[in-house]
Structure 1
Amino acid sequence: MNETNSSNRQVWLAILLLATLCLAGIVEPVAAAPRGSPWGANFFPNSVLINQDGKKLRFYDDMLKGKVVMINFVYAGCKDACPLETAKLRQVQEALGDRVGRDIFMYSITIDPKHDTPARLKEYAKRYKVAPGWQFLTGKEAEINQLRQKLGLAEEGEGRSDHTMNLIVGNEATGQWKQRSTFDNPKVLARVLGDELFNFSRPAVADGSYAAAPHTITIDPGEDLFRRRCQVCHTVGAGDTLGPDLAGVTRNRDRNWLVRWLKTPDQVLAEKDPIAQTLFTRYNQVIMPNLRLSDRDVDVLLEYLDSRGGTM
């Protein structure tokens, strides 16, 4: 037998072995959208995107097909909602652990591809201490705009600074797709990705006994606001995270400065306020977003922080 025939025979044997394993259920082919589902290769574009490491990925074939995914749109130069959005999704990644990149895939696609190079996106991910498995991607502007339209994450007439804060989660293999808000509780969003989109096929983990739950729950409005808007970057007494530990901040900072910082941090930083610049540099240039807090919001938040016991 000559060398060519021998090589061909080895290829056919490999194909036969793979087919046998698939039929036996030992190796499963990647499942596409179920028959009759509109959410498959005929719906999603197969645009080529480039991740933060410079690797090219096809949107449908490489990123969606047979996968459970989360997709949102951000841009590295955003000084408004994107920092809060990324910080919240970082908590989702922490809740899912090493499943991200293994059986759950997180994708953040830039809406500013003219400026967001792979290198800039890599630095952005590093700034927010993003773990491996969550990919940040860029590409051609026209194709990214098409993706936003297809995913229902673009609004007519919107500008870059007021892009939607919604995201898409889905299981391409089952045809399940949902639009969620980035302001969802990170643990709830993690459960949607990790349990609901897998049809609750993973063993449930008990959260404790109902008998041990308190009969009366009192919610402090300041604590509630802190947990919904601030906790993604700060703790009170548990140490620094993306931003400083806020325990004792009301004793260590002038109240008027705190009020201005909470209401218009972008303006305070733009004025080159020395405290704001020091914090910006110390905490890896993570931007404090303008949360559009009302006077009442600021009052209850400071009351809550005043009741806790550190420095900022």
Structure 2
Amino acid sequence: MLRTWRLLLPLLLVLSLPCALPPSSASPEPDTPWGASYFPNIPLLTQDGKQVHFFDDLIKDKVVAINFIFTGCGDSCPVETARLRQVQKLLGERVGQDIFIYSISIDPYNDTPATLKRYAEKFGIAPGWTLLTGEAADIETLRRSLGLYIDGLENGRSRDHNLSLIIGNQATGRWMKASPFESPYILADRLANSLHNWKQATASTQAEAPMIRPPSTGEQLYRTRCSSCHTLGDAVPGATRGIGPDLLGVTRQRDPAWLVRWLKEPDKMLAEKDPLAVLLYEQYNQLAMPNMRLGPTEVEALLGYLEEETQRLQTPSAQR
């Protein structure tokens, strides 16, 4: 018996020592370096004239998408805004609840709250997506902290700017840059699922997975440059129309030379008061067609794809 107790005593002593239990699922997440001490908590004004602070009011403990625009931009910014509008539609009511979108002006001298409000109305931006302006120096500081400022490109005299979009979850410190011309489905998935650590269940199955085929150069151009504002025979009946006209049949409805120039320099054509350019501008909420810097090869590829889709979709099913 004595021998047995001598053998059990060390075991009992070990069991009686305090032990460190693994953290429970309710344990708070570790502090992230992307906290209040990192972000400049600059004051900003919303399109409704309300003052907010960047960290405290806009991003703290939130999943967000942030980009920088200016309303006088005639090329990339409108396309970028239209792409985010698609993302907002895909996310639905979650925008403003557990996902927030912010577009901050890099031209605060001209982009007053009232100007931003008109811009939001033109694009049909829904609640949960806030447009903001503020002091130029503060906004530059913010862009630098987010890694969205390029020395050498931006010298204070030019409004050229980094087009990257940054998305992240401030609470977990997970941030990533993305192209604003990325597929809206990919951007929506990152905001809704990966940045939320896939907390919301999805009903997708293998049977629902789409077939993937390599797109042509023309289709790539359409999907990255045009589909934000236009449909191609896929407009939903009764739905709010797109930002621009449907492009199905456009290669047969417009003069080829006019189309080529329109894709290359729509800003110049509008400035010259081209009758059709002015008509489209007035019909579509005075939103100017952006200059997408397309070269001859890109224009040819894009028009070729539009014609192919027109042929495919307008051919009677009996002839297919």
| Corresponding residue SS for 2:110 | coil
The reply on whether 1:65 has 2:40 as its aligned counterpart is no
Rg (Cα) greater in structure: 2
1:173 & 1:275 partners in 2: Cα distance?
50
- The C-alpha deviation readout for 1:44-79, integer Å capped at 9, x for no partner, is 111111101111111111111111111110011111
| Displacement after TM superposition at 1:248 (Å) | 1.3
Kindly report which structure 2 residues correspond to 1:46-195, keeping only aligned pairs within 5 A, or say none. Answer: 46-159=41-154, 160-195=158-193
1:161 & 1:52 partners in 2: Cα distance?
21
| Corresponding residue SS for 1:98 | helix
| Displacement after TM superposition at 1:101 (Å) | 0.5
| Displacement after TM superposition at 1:287 (Å) | 2.0
4+ aligned runs moved over 3 Å, structure 1: 216-221
Kindly report which structure 2 residues correspond to 1:257-268, keeping only aligned pairs within 5 A, or say none. Answer: 257-268=258-269
The reply on whether 1:235 has 2:231 as its aligned counterpart is yes
Confirm or deny: 8 A CA contact 1:101 1:134 kept in the other structure.
Answer: yes
- The C-alpha deviation readout for 1:231-268, integer Å capped at 9, x for no partner, is 11111223440000111111111000000001111121
- The C-alpha deviation readout for 1:93-140, integer Å capped at 9, x for no partner, is 111111001000100000011111111001001111111110000111
Confirm or deny: 8 A CA contact 1:68 1:170 kept in the other structure.
Answer: yes
Report what 1:45 is aligned to: 40
| TM-score in terms of structure 1 length | 0.84
| TM-score in terms of structure 2 length | 0.82
Q: How many residues align?
A: 278
Confirm or deny: 8 A CA contact 1:225 1:301 kept in the other structure.
Answer: yes
Confirm or deny: 8 A CA contact 2:267 2:290 kept in the other structure.
Answer: yes
Report what 1:10 is aligned to: none
| Corresponding residue SS for 1:162 | coil
Q: Which runs of 5+ in 1 are unaligned?
A: 1-27
The letter of the residue matching 1:233 is C
Report what 1:201 is aligned to: 199
The reply on whether 1:298 has 2:295 as its aligned counterpart is no
Confirm or deny: 8 A CA contact 2:32 2:171 kept in the other structure.
Answer: no
The reply on whether 1:272 has 2:273 as its aligned counterpart is yes
| Corresponding residue SS for 1:209 | helix
2:40 & 2:72 partners in 1: Cα distance?
26
1:127 & 1:180 partners in 2: Cα distance?
25
2:205 & 2:286 partners in 1: Cα distance?
37
| Corresponding residue SS for 1:93 | helix
Report what 2:21 is aligned to: none
Confirm or deny: 8 A CA contact 1:81 1:289 kept in the other structure.
Answer: yes
Report what 2:250 is aligned to: 249
RMSD over aligned CA atoms reads 2.1
1:294 & 1:220 partners in 2: Cα distance?
17
Query: Taking every aligned residue pair, what percent have the same amino acid on both sides?
Result: 51
The letter of the residue matching 2:247 is L
The letter of the residue matching 2:293 is R
Confirm or deny: 8 A CA contact 1:80 1:161 kept in the other structure.
Answer: no
| Corresponding residue SS for 1:126 | helix
**Which deviates the most, 299-308 or 252-261?**
299-308
1:218 & 1:63 partners in 2: Cα distance?
39
Confirm or deny: 8 A CA contact 2:83 2:180 kept in the other structure.
Answer: yes
| Displacement after TM superposition at 1:218 (Å) | 5.7
Q: Which runs of 5+ in 2 are unaligned?
A: 1-25, 236-240, 314-320
